[in-house]
Amino acid sequence: MYNEETLDFSTIKKELEKHCGSKIAKELASQLEPMDEREVIQEALDEMVEAIRSLQMEIEQPLGGTRDIRESCKKSRKDIVLTRENLWDILITIGAYKRMTKFFRQKYMEYPLLSLWVQDMPNHDRIENRLKRVFDEKGELLDTASPKLASLRNTITKTRERIKNDIQAILHDKDNQKYFQEALITQRNNRYVIPVKQEYRQYFDGLIHDKSATGQTLYIEPMRLVNLNNDLQEAILGEEQEVLRIYKELSGLVKASSNDLMDACEKVSHVEFVYGKAALAITMKASPAVLSPNREVKLMKARHPLIPANIVVPTDITLGMDYRILLITGSNTGGKTVSLKTLGLLSLMNQSGLCIPAEPGSMLPIFHNIYADIGDEQSIEASLSTFSAHMTQVISIIKHVGPNDLVLLDELGSGTDPEEGSALAVAILDYFRKKGALMMVSTHYNELKNYAYHTEGIENGHVEFDERTLRPTYRLHIGVAGSSHALSIAARLGLPKDIVKDAAEYKSKFANNEMEEVLSDLNEQLRRASDRERALKKELDEARRMRGQLEREKKQFNEKRKTMMTKAQEEAENMKRSIRVEGEQIIKQLKSQFSETNTKKRQDAINAARKGISGVQVPQAPLDDERKELTANDIKVNQVVYVTTLRSLGTVLSINGKRVNVDINGLTATVKLNELRSTTREEGNKLERDQKRPQPKERKRSGMAVLRQQQASTEINILGQTVDEAVVSVGRFIDQALLAGIGQVRIIHGKGTGALRDGVHQYLRTLPQVRHFETAGYDEGGAGATNVVLK
């Protein structure tokens, strides 16, 4: 039980109608009623949340194009021939049904509840294809709708052309021109005629069909056109009969599919209605309430949806936890009635499957009934005073109220003697308290405030009043009663100061004056605490904003730093590589200059030069997350590690002293122990997921290719081999590295006489797969090894 007008729910339904696109969806909005089954309400809210997400995320929505085809389906069942407009509406609507069905079948995972409404949508291809063969894109009947219609329309066109040609010949005949009032072609009774002057009637042979209002002009059908006009009329009648036959045939198709069409109409209209609710929610900046299992009301920043957003003051309302009855006091026009209506209206909206204008997480129970006595209900016709009208409403509520109901009473006990009214109000409150219903009541009586302070299950609250500006702030505070501030408001409205002063003196003599002063002091303290809270919240929000901004700037700085260091490292590596090449050339020249007797001195100079080149410091790019260098004790088989030289994550396969075999994307690479760094847990989990993910199909490779990939290494030792043997080994080694996707390798050839090294270098210069090569660094074997970079 509830009153739509009292709680403004009828206005909400009218707003909802505006957001619904189709006629049937608007009807569903006008028929919307609150529900009391938890599962049904929750499903309605969940459907609306999906529609909100669709409106916010999807570029194209599955809406639009539907027409109300219910009446056409009903007519077809009675064998009434449908009009062109009826049939065209059905064709357009079937197309809209198909678009919606296609959308939700593709988006089933994103919108499962809405998809259920169209998953069993009947197939209308047969009737749609037939209608498409009959109508063009503008809904006009095509000439090709039937062979007979095409023939008749062709006859009509040709006959009209012949008639017009004959009339033009008559009109342009010099002997006839004096007979005509004006040289134009017109029609009377669907027959082509010529306007002829009255005085020349006897000179012009033909049938009179009409005359002008003055009688000076006669509309005559020339005798030579009679047969052609007869042929035209016969063809037009034939066309009308054929069109009627086609529409009758199509109406029969609609009749055969009427049940499926009506079923589809109901399902699609429901989806359109849900999207209308979602559009209203977005407009109101509303969110779905949590359905409370324990009759608890917790509204956060709730707003009355019909008060403009730039005026409404959000309010917090709690009820049903520590207390079941909330008694609101405060000044007139301070927002007490708005608070009552906000709770009642939002409860109705929630139980109707609508979002409510409140913060996410707000909670509302499901009420069996919502009773409201709000506003001035004085009835002149029934000879009832304001007090009598209110009492009549309250008595009716008392007769029907139950523990699962919500009761909203405005100015309880007002309109009569204050002492009797307050006593009656206390008794009524006590009755409702024992019944167990949730209540929100507004009053000015101090006796009720005192009663609430001393009675379990009832809590005081008040709407804030600013003593400095003498204006209400409309904020609801729970826990402290408020004053009416009648004298302050009267003074602000213009009551003479002398009267206000006298009233204040009289008030000081009343018994309740001390309580009023205490309440005023408490409210002033509460106002100051609220101001401090708002200031602190503002500072906290600003601090959070600045912290977020600093975090973003820090991240951008680290990324920029990493990019710059990586670029600097690449440039330094290139420079070091050039120095090595030049150094080797200088060393070669030094060898030729030193005598054989000075071998030790020569070798010391060469070693010193190479050591100096190797000691060139290259800036290192920052390691992700400051990766820790790993020792032999830190590494285990199957551990995920980061290989610095290859800049990749890999899994440890085996450990051989200072050499470690690592699996990188299915490839086995042999790297040095000091090239390994630690990884994060997230990187390890990601690598594991990537390895489990199905790989795209590739062309089947030979067993030899797979074997080469599995056995690929980043290093080869050719010590003791001749140049010819080394060339074969190095060639095979580089081929395996290329197949495995390895970009850099090392060839260990030893120092010796340098012949083996020179022979390998000479061979490397002939390979197009080699980007460049250089003598290894001092810590990598110096002149006894060569680093090769592959393309």
Binding residues, as ranges, are 330-337
Report the run of H or E that residue 731 belongs to, with start and end: helix 723-740
Nearest partner of 273 among 93, 29, 97, 32, judged by Cα: 29
State the Rg of the chain over Cα.
47
Q: 438 and 320 in contact (C-beta within 8 Å)?
A: yes
Q: Please give the full DSSP string across 262-293, using - where no structure is assigned.
A: HHHHHHHHHHHHHHHHHHHHHHHT-BPPEE-S
Determine how β-strand 325-329 pairs with β-strand 406-409: unpaired
Q: Please give the full DSSP string across 208-235, using - where no structure is assigned.
A: EEEE-TTSSEEEEEEGGGHHHHHHHHHH
Q: Which amino acid is at 455?
A: T
Q: 471 and 510 in contact (C-beta within 8 Å)?
A: no
Cα torsion for 238, 239, 244, 245, to the nearest 10°?
70
Q: 461 and 477 in contact (C-beta within 8 Å)?
A: yes
- Over the range 608-630, which residues count as b (16 or more CB within 10 Å of their CB) and which as e? eebeebbeeeeeebeeeeebeeb
Between vectors from CA 296 to CA 290 and to CA 299, what angle results, nearest 5°? 60
- Give the Å distances, CA to CA, from 561 to 37, 456, 565, 566, 568: 60, 65, 6, 9, 10
Q: Which residues pair with 717 in a beta bridge?
A: 748
Report the sign of the C-alpha dihedral through residues 204, 206, 211, 212, in that order: negative
- What three-state secondary structure class fits 95? helix
Q: Could you tell me the strand order of the sheet in which 206-211 lies?
A: 186-188, 191-197, 217-222, 206-211
Tally of residues, the chain: 791
Q: 410 and 340 in contact (C-beta within 8 Å)?
A: yes
Q: 239 and 153 in contact (C-beta within 8 Å)?
A: yes
Q: Could you tell me the strand order of the sheet in which 770-775 lies?
A: 715-717, 744-748, 785-790, 770-775
Q: 421 and 307 in contact (C-beta within 8 Å)?
A: no
- Binding residues for ATP are 330-337
Q: 334 and 400 in contact (C-beta within 8 Å)?
A: no
Nearest partner of 104 among 92, 94, 93, 118, judged by Cα: 118
* Phi and psi at residue 56, to the nearest 5°: -90, -25
Report the run of H or E that residue 449 belongs to, with start and end: helix 446-453
Q: Which region, left, alpha or beta, applies to residue 379 given φ > 0 means left and ψ of -120 to 50 means alpha?
A: beta
Tokens 């729970």 correspond to 478
Q: 746 and 715 in contact (C-beta within 8 Å)?
A: yes
Report the sign of the C-alpha dihedral through residues 237, 241, 246, 251, in that order: positive
Q: 65 and 98 in contact (C-beta within 8 Å)?
A: no
Q: 231 and 160 in contact (C-beta within 8 Å)?
A: no
CA–CA distance, 484 with 461 (Å, rounded to integer): 12
- What three-state secondary structure class fits 700? coil
Task: Kindly state the tokens that stand for 212.
Answer: 């002008």
CA–CA distance, 281 with 189 (Å, rounded to integer): 59
Report the sign of the C-alpha dihedral through residues 691, 692, 697, 701, in that order: positive
Task: Kindly state the tokens that stand for 331.
Answer: 């000044």
